[in-house]
Amino acid sequence: MEQVEILFKNGRVVSQGRVANGFVAVDQGKIVAVGEGDAAPQAQKIIDLKGRVLIPGVVDPEVHFGSHRWVGDEFDSETKGAAAYGITTWGFMQPSPNMGQPYKAEKSKEEVVPYSEVFNLFKDLGESRSMVDFFLTPKILKDEHALEIPRLAEEFGITSFKYQLHLMSPERTAQFWPNRKSQGYFGYDDGTISLGMENVAKLGPTAIVCMHCENWEIARIFEERLIKAGRKEYRVWNQRSPNFCEAGHVHTYTYYARILKCPIYIQHTTTPETIEEITRARADGATVYAQTGTHYLSLTEDAWRINVPLRSAEDIEILWQALADGRIDSVGSDHTNTAKSRSEMEVPGDIWATKTGFPSRGEALLPVMLSDGVNGGRISLQRLVEVCCENPARIFGLFPKKGVIAPGSDADLVVVDLDRKVTVSSDMVHTAAGWTLWEGREMKGWPVMTMLRGKIIAEWADGDKRPEMVSKPLGRYQPRSLGRS
Amino acid sequence: MEQVEILFKNGRVVSQGRVANGFVAVDQGKIVAVGEGDAAPQAQKIIDLKGRVLIPGVVDPEVHFGSHRWVGDEFDSETKGAAAYGITTWGFMQPSPNMGQPYKAEKSKEEVVPYSEVFNLFKDLGESRSMVDFFLTPKILKDEHALEIPRLAEEFGITSFKYQLHLMSPERTAQFWPNRKSQGYFGYDDGTISLGMENVAKLGPTAIVCMHCENWEIARIFEERLIKAGRKEYRVWNQRSPNFCEAGHVHTYTYYARILKCPIYIQHTTTPETIEEITRARADGATVYAQTGTHYLSLTEDAWRINVPLRSAEDIEILWQALADGRIDSVGSDHTNTAKSRSEMEVPGDIWATKTGFPSRGEALLPVMLSDGVNGGRISLQRLVEVCCENPARIFGLFPKKGVIAPGSDADLVVVDLDRKVTVSSDMVHTAAGWTLWEGREMKGWPVMTMLRGKIIAEWADGDKRPEMVSKPLGRYQPRSLGRS
Amino acid sequence: MEQVEILFKNGRVVSQGRVANGFVAVDQGKIVAVGEGDAAPQAQKIIDLKGRVLIPGVVDPEVHFGSHRWVGDEFDSETKGAAAYGITTWGFMQPSPNMGQPYKAEKSKEEVVPYSEVFNLFKDLGESRSMVDFFLTPKILKDEHALEIPRLAEEFGITSFKYQLHLMSPERTAQFWPNRKSQGYFGYDDGTISLGMENVAKLGPTAIVCMHCENWEIARIFEERLIKAGRKEYRVWNQRSPNFCEAGHVHTYTYYARILKCPIYIQHTTTPETIEEITRARADGATVYAQTGTHYLSLTEDAWRINVPLRSAEDIEILWQALADGRIDSVGSDHTNTAKSRSEMEVPGDIWATKTGFPSRGEALLPVMLSDGVNGGRISLQRLVEVCCENPARIFGLFPKKGVIAPGSDADLVVVDLDRKVTVSSDMVHTAAGWTLWEGREMKGWPVMTMLRGKIIAEWADGDKRPEMVSKPLGRYQPRSLGRS
Amino acid sequence: MEQVEILFKNGRVVSQGRVANGFVAVDQGKIVAVGEGDAAPQAQKIIDLKGRVLIPGVVDPEVHFGSHRWVGDEFDSETKGAAAYGITTWGFMQPSPNMGQPYKAEKSKEEVVPYSEVFNLFKDLGESRSMVDFFLTPKILKDEHALEIPRLAEEFGITSFKYQLHLMSPERTAQFWPNRKSQGYFGYDDGTISLGMENVAKLGPTAIVCMHCENWEIARIFEERLIKAGRKEYRVWNQRSPNFCEAGHVHTYTYYARILKCPIYIQHTTTPETIEEITRARADGATVYAQTGTHYLSLTEDAWRINVPLRSAEDIEILWQALADGRIDSVGSDHTNTAKSRSEMEVPGDIWATKTGFPSRGEALLPVMLSDGVNGGRISLQRLVEVCCENPARIFGLFPKKGVIAPGSDADLVVVDLDRKVTVSSDMVHTAAGWTLWEGREMKGWPVMTMLRGKIIAEWADGDKRPEMVSKPLGRYQPRSLGRS
């Protein structure tokens, strides 16, 4: 037998519902053997895990960078944070004007181009600058985008598509969030949605429609009322868009998805009411997947302004339960970046004046899951790997290339030290924004090495304050093919 | 590196949702490595699969031998059929008087002993005579059995328990099936069931209650009516216990299972109505697993008499769909043996005079799934492995020791030749009954070698009419431990 | 125009969702005109209501006398209490051995005769002794009774039939309630139930199956446990047969009723869980009616032992809400009589030694509804008339002869003084038992005159402690015909 | 006793679930007595019904005149048709610019005034010109209208409010139906709906929100596709807005109605899918009422273009069943008038060129229900009265003043000859359009006399081709008060 390139040994290998003590052999970017005891092959390089944990690289289905800066710059800075903290595949979601064209804060209707026109620009930028692999989930902004779906699938391996339901009615929304329309959201309706659902249904598995469910047509009533009442404190943001605004959209669009036989992915499952609607839709025969976010699992309504809102501490525990028992399938970071400091974004005590969104969510994903989830006793290590790696890979058509430690799969691997305790500080992040909302929290359980297709890309050296990049950008676009895995 | 004992190579390895081309290394009864290409370890013995398929040994949760002969003799003859055709773990279900005591056709109430009294007798018989590994699912026949549950779990690793709901009311049943009562069924009620559910709920995962759902209190009305009408043809048996008699019990007992927080396993899912009740119960929050049988997937109501009945050709296709899409979780053989020839059992054209049950169901399990299922285009190879290996192992607390090809798991492996076509004949079976109801069917896709914990136990040599045993009985009782895998 | 016999005037006439100020004219036992102002006919006798309320006579679908005394004696004493307090039609429910035969406390199997054999005996007794009209709801105790249904409908106008589900398994029940079996309950099963449901479904509207839902097979487990724990206090009776034992039966038998297309009447709706099951069954397409009892609306679990149990104060308010909003359709008294004094029945502080059931429920029905319901602000007068008069009449096939104040209907009328306040004392009752569990309660709103088919049968004279009979027994058996009203 | 003004006698009086042979006495506009036999009062005028049927005047909750002509002219012509054929109360629904202001085909945004500004104009026009009583259900066209609800209820007795959901998105709709926007529909959203639901919920019973459910955002996709495919035949209109477009809106807005605790009235229940959604919403606790239209019960998709579409013959029978069994509560005419002849409206064979809507629906309501419904064996006379009179009166807060034949109620009465057969011709109508889509159908069962508050307003003299007006306009606006009847 020949030597393989790399052998991980003496570790706890977690994948597909099992924790096995053993080895993982890597060669030419692929996993070539997993095993235990003496059966390991010879290797040029041996990495002794010393009992630490080896998991598949995280597949994070939702990152939104490019709204506030040129995508090229974002690939540079933001994917470093992903690589540092264990994400090896990123699902990119953006309006078509933000795909690598010169950055403009305001877009005209004409600039909302077809995705097929800008896809190669985006791909080339990513393949020269991204630290991690990436795929694309276009945002459907108008009928033409929905009609483009078959071509996007065939030519570019794009099989997931997203609707931002809160931004359907920009005329109305613009009354209270003026710049939204200029970001490329010029309005669409249920017809645009049914067109997309029909086209995705025709593609068959694993094509899917993703939805940001949040009824802002109703939220505008609450917003007006709260402002009139002089309410400003952060938790008001949750009252502005209460649980039923999210669950109501889930109620409605799981119906159309069922009727049109289109699988649907609920991007932000943050309330018990949403979980109930998802469960009922599944019982009625709809194919529904549910994502939640690490921010929804660890930050309460007092923390910041974001869409959908951060919820109550009580709701958070219900989310963890649903994540543990299978009602929620996956976790996403919802990473964004404004490249602005906290003081530039925040007007303390005034939710209306504070900027929406907060950075460093990609960096927080795996640490929160390890610390609050596994070490917090809320989910098992096996379940962490399911919701962060295997399930997103399956749902988005990347399995078994991604999401699993098994022969033939990409050697995307993360070494985790479950016992490491670190108090989060803003100098630990790589994002251009330079700060994190989790600052000050002591977390236990950290990724300490990230490998992408057989190359170590990030490593947390002893004594360092954070993991650093140890390779140039190696990220590759991941086209997806249809058909059940 | 040391040599491993056995290396399977050049095969398509199917496990956990993937088909990988590669190798599997076996040492000291365990799988020690899986991989592809050159990473395979040295081995004392190399088995070249030549492109054939390697799957985990089948975990069949339901075999009932011992009702008509001494259990020792049954272990001798019947487990040969299992081993020959790819079953490596058998879940045994019997009343306590049939656990290895000298065989009696008629039992007294006193002979319905606690399982703790006869467990060791059963275990010892099996460990000296069984070709395959086995575990025990006691049938709860009275309150005392339900009260025995905590002790059975702790002392013997017994974590699954079964209720034969059709035999709850033996006084009534005995009016039309006189010998049933004498088999140990002296009657129990919903109180006995709630006691068992409470005790199983307290054990926590992966303890489970299994149920044969079929309302014979209602079936007796249909039976009387059909007999009066002079109906005798085989399909009358389906009309005697129509779909709602099965679904009705599922409706009722999933309710109590939900209220008492006890996981429930529906032993025979054979109708669309049953699937609907299961789906609704899951949506309501019950933990429900659904099994169907290979006989229900391949034999129509015209074929024979059995409980629950064989159903219509239309229902069969619905079962396959539910098996494919996940509403049904697993497949069981429901194997029994009367040691009687077909002519001793059958009165052609008279369902009432024909004996219930038919032999060789264990032998048919995997061939039917390969031929009708995979080669018939109804399920993928991956799904076959899920429903025949991984899911039963998970549900019954045997995972990841059984049901999966992964390092650390038992080396229970089956080599499958997907292209082999054979027309079934009764001289292919090992069962003491010596015949099979599938006789005359051409099936494509057959197991050709079976390994149990690293030892080849059965092999189908070229030119042989059937697979033959190539080892002595090696079967071991499989105690189960509690806690999520 | 001729003179009518009787004219009620200056009253608030409540019927069919309306309160009208006006008159009601009665002639030859029928209502011949209702109106207002000057349109009233001449009358031989004018009854000036002086602003009081006139309602239809109460149709109480559930009375059980005859279990402890000869039915003839019961007709004598118990129907006086009904007449006194506003009940004009009583639905009688008894096992066939209690239909007027010489009274025996213990019955043999042979004495459980067909209803057709004893119907005329029962009818004749009633028509010579009953103060109020009556109909019959036989208790189905065995297959033969279920088979008798078509004949009972055709020959005797019997269209409602009852199953005492708690007494299905007398072998088991007899372990903790020895005398039950001897009351005629020798056991039946779901087959007996399905036979009855089939036969009732064939009759079409308004035939109906009534069910006492309470799973005593499970209750026996709780009973044993509570006794072992030394618990004796009255509220233990509720814990012995907790809410899910009632709701579980409703869950099960609404399913079979739906499948067999048989309308079903839930005799005792006493828990939120029951209401939920009823609501869901209706949504699934079952025809389900729900009764509750005045005792369940006014007495808590601390008050006495009865089947199904009295529930918590919290559950009581939920029942009132469901009665108000339509989820519960009707109210019944569930009247029984042991002819024993309170001290003979009660062992204070020991629920197990205290006798089941308590007298005078018929007498309490209307006063509780007026006082706790209408004057307590929980239901409107119109709703009282719906649930006590019109709905029971409609459901049991007596409408529009009974249950409504309208031309052509029987002149069964009750004058109610909504302002009268009386503190209940045991010397107010007519039942042979001579006491009431409501003793000591001040109630506001009382019936003061009862008319049956144009004859005043009871009147509460000023200064009297209770209403007294003012006619001889005039009660007539009420046969029912099929077909939608 | 004094004489009453009018006495109907020798009739079959149908009301509140009963058919009684008897009399009805009328005095000073009210019913003062109902009865049978000799109890009738003296009367100045006796109307001998000779065995014919007397029913309450029809309460039709939905008429839309005023879209194409000045409301004053519409009151003149259209209410004659209503009076002629048995409608005595009409529920008027119009945008605020069409309430009696000088007629303009095109409206500006400024002309969409508050209803409080134009209510008196509308009321005065109606009270001088309408042959029948009327009430108002404003169409909520913008937030300001939703905010006006409390004032409308208090000052004008307006308690029902309607949303035209198909016209929510006029920008989109205007692409294929240009003139819609100019009719006053300038767009609103779910916020406007939630505002209205909140305000109606606060009013309490019997306030209600009415909804035209039909998702035109999706219909536009089908329209475009059908036009591209060159399809023109009439039945294409049903394919343009298929069943799920109606049921989808019901699914969505019954959810918000439940969450906001607002009763909801589904204006057009025309599909099995809609019925299912309504049934499920009720089971979940929503208060939902369902109307269908006589056109949906008697005209198939081949007949004409209308919103929502006429459906298939199969769907029609399902509607009748749901109307019979209670899942549908009421019937409305949805009457409109373009004052154009058939040839002006129709381009035979080209659904796109044909004008939407057809006249004379008010005139058809009762005849269709009598002929297809009662004489067709689909519903009973009692049920006809429930769905055409009592239920609409109850739901819209007019009961017991309207919808019932009982003392104290308005003497709105219709004499029906169930045996009269007439073949419909266009010269039988009173509508300004002068034609009817039911032309050529033989119908059996016709109204022959209509009385409004004690005055005969229309009568069908022997030999006449149609009923003629026999009084001047007497219609009065009907304010409604809140609180359960």
Per residue in D387-446, pLDDT (tens digit) is 999 999 999 999 999 999 999 999 999 999 999 999 999 999 999 999 999 999 999 999
Provide the pLDDT for residue A485.
45
Residue with tokens 């009235």: D265
Chain D residues near any Cβ of chain A (below 8 Å): 169, 171-172, 187, 189-191, 194-195, 215, 217-221, 244, 248, 251-252, 255-256, 259
Chain D residues close to A252, C-beta within 8 Å: 248, 251-252, 255
Chain C residues close to B220, C-beta within 8 Å: 191
What is the token pair recorded at C200?
């009732």
Query: Do the strands D468-469 and D455-459 form a parallel or antiparallel pair, or are they unpaired?
Result: antiparallel
What is the token pair recorded at B28?
């000291």
List of chains touching B (3+ CB pairs within 8 A): A, C
| Structure-model confidence comparison of residues B230 and A170, the more confident one | B230
Provide the pLDDT for residue B485.
45
Task: Please check the confidence at residue A173 and state whether its pLDDT lies above 90.
Answer: no
Give D165 to chain C, closest Cα distance, Å.
26
Cis peptide before D429 (omega within 30 of 0): no
Query: Do the strands C264-266 and C208-212 form a parallel or antiparallel pair, or are they unpaired?
Result: parallel
Q: Label residue D485 by pLDDT band (50, 70, 90).
A: very low
Task: Please check the confidence at residue C285 and state whether its pLDDT lies above 90.
Answer: no
Task: Give the end-to-end CA distance of chain B in Å, rounded to a whole number.
Answer: 31
Residue with tokens 């309150």: B143
Contact B40 A33 (CB under 8 A): yes
Chain D residues near any Cβ of chain C (below 8 Å): 1-2, 4, 13, 16-18, 20-23, 25, 27, 30-42, 279-280, 282-283, 380, 382, 394, 399-400, 404, 406-408, 484-485
D-chain residue closest to C3, CA distance:
D39
| Residue of D147, D176, D190, D245 for testing the chain A interface, max A β-carbons within 10 Å | D190
Handedness of CA D407, D408, D409, D412 (dihedral sign): positive
Q: Which of B190, B215, B248 sits opposite C217 (nearest CB)?
A: B190
Q: DSSP of B178-203, one letter per residue?
A: GGGGGGT-----HHHHHHHHHHHHHH
Distance (Å, rounded) from C-alpha C345 to C-alpha C355? 5
Residue with tokens 């209306």: A352
Mean pLDDT within A258-266: 97
Q: Are D28 and D9 in contact (CB under 8 A)?
A: no
Contact D259 A244 (CB under 8 A): yes
For chain D, give the longest Cα–Cα distance.
75
Of C68, C72, C138, C90, nearest in space to C365 by CA = C90
What is the token pair recorded at B233?
């043809």
List of chains touching C (3+ CB pairs within 8 A): B, D
Give D197 to chain C, closest Cα distance, Å.
20
Provide the pLDDT for residue C177.
64
Distance (Å, rounded) from C-alpha B183 to C-alpha B193? 19
Residue with tokens 């598995």: A205
Q: Are A78 and A130 in contact (CB under 8 A)?
A: no
Sequence-separated contacts (24+) of B104-110 with Cβ below 8 Å = B105/B68, B105/B179, B105/B182, B106/B179, B106/B182, B107/B182, B107/B183, B107/B184, B109/B186
| Cα separation values, B390 from A301, B382, B384, B401, Å | 41, 10, 9, 10
What is the token pair recorded at D17?
């679930």
Task: Please check the confidence at residue C314 and state whether its pLDDT lies above 70.
Answer: yes
Mean pLDDT within C454-480: 97
Partners of A161 in the beta sheet? Answer: A209
Task: Please check the confidence at residue D86 and state whether its pLDDT lies above 70.
Answer: yes
Chain B residues close to C244, C-beta within 8 Å: 256, 259
Contact B221 C255 (CB under 8 A): no
Distance (Å, rounded) from C-alpha C81 to C-alpha C333? 12
Residue with tokens 């029994």: B336
Provide the pLDDT for residue A327.
93
Cβ neighbours for B310, distance < 8 A, ≥ 6 positions apart: B237, B238, B270, B295, B296, B299, B300, B301, B302, B303, B304
Q: Which of A187, A191, A217 sits opposite D190 (nearest CB)?
A: A217
What is the token pair recorded at B30?
């365990």
Classified as helix, coil or strand, D209 is strand
Mean pLDDT within B317-335: 96
Mean pLDDT within C25-41: 93
Give C445 to chain D, closest Cα distance, Å.
21
| Cα separation values, D472 from A205, B19, D80, Å | 69, 86, 10
- Angle, CA of B101, B102 and B103, to the nearest 5°: 105
- Angle, CA of A142, A146 and A151, to the nearest 5°: 135
Q: From the DSSP assignment, how many helices (H) and strands (E) are in chain D? A: 17, 17
Contact B194 C218 (CB under 8 A): yes
Model pTM score: 0.90
D-chain residue closest to C21, CA distance:
D408
Q: Label residue C407 by pLDDT band (50, 70, 90).
A: very high
Contact D27 C38 (CB under 8 A): yes
Contact D18 C404 (CB under 8 A): yes
Contact B32 A33 (CB under 8 A): no
In A157-189, alpha helices (H): 170-173
Give A244 to chain D, closest Cα distance, Å.
8
Q: Are D431 and D79 in contact (CB under 8 A)?
A: no
Task: Please check the confidence at residue D264 and state whether its pLDDT lies above 80.
Answer: yes
Mean pLDDT within A146-151: 98
In tens, the pLDDT along D186-216 reads 889 999 999 999 999 999 999 999 999 999 9
Mean pLDDT within A9-15: 95
Contact B248 C248 (CB under 8 A): no
Q: Are A292 and A270 in contact (CB under 8 A)?
A: yes
Distance (Å, rounded) from C-alpha D189 to C-alpha B368? 56
Provide the pLDDT for residue A177.
64
Task: Please check the confidence at residue A105 and state whether its pLDDT lies above 90.
Answer: no
Q: Which of B187, B217, B256 sits opposite C190 (nearest CB)?
A: B217
Instruction: Give the CA dihedral B305, B310, B311, B313, nearest 10 degrees.
Output: -110
φ, ψ for residue D165 (rounded to 5)? -65, -25
Q: Which of B1, B38, B280 sits opposite A283 (nearest CB)?
A: B280
| Structure-model confidence comparison of residues C153 and B183, the more confident one | C153
Q: Which of B191, B218, B221 sits opposite C221 (nearest CB)?
A: B191
Q: Within 10 Å of residue D421's Cβ, how many Cβ atoms?
A: 12
Task: Please check the confidence at residue D178 and state whether its pLDDT lies above 70.
Answer: no
Distance (Å, rounded) from C-alpha A323 to C-alpha A331? 9
What is the token pair recorded at A5?
């390139």
Amino acid in the structure at residue B371: S
Q: Are A13 and A405 in contact (CB under 8 A)?
A: yes
Provide the pLDDT for residue B284.
84
Q: Are A175 and A217 in contact (CB under 8 A)?
A: no
For chain C, give the longest Cα–Cα distance.
75
Q: Which of A41, A42, A282 sits opposite B283 (nearest CB)?
A: A282
Q: Which of C18, C27, C279 sits opposite D406 (nearest CB)?
A: C18
Range scoring the smallest mean pLDDT among A231-235, A309-313, D481-485: D481-485
What is the token pair recorded at B153?
């779990």
Provide the pLDDT for residue B186.
86
Mean pLDDT within A418-422: 97
Provide the pLDDT for residue A179.
60
Q: Which of A194, A218, A244 sits opposite D191 (nearest CB)?
A: A218
Q: Label residue C485 by pLDDT band (50, 70, 90).
A: very low
Residue with tokens 């029913």: D55
Task: Please check the confidence at residue B117 and state whether its pLDDT lies above 50.
Answer: yes
Q: What is the CA radius of gyration of chain B?
A: 21
Say what the ipTM of the complex is: 0.95
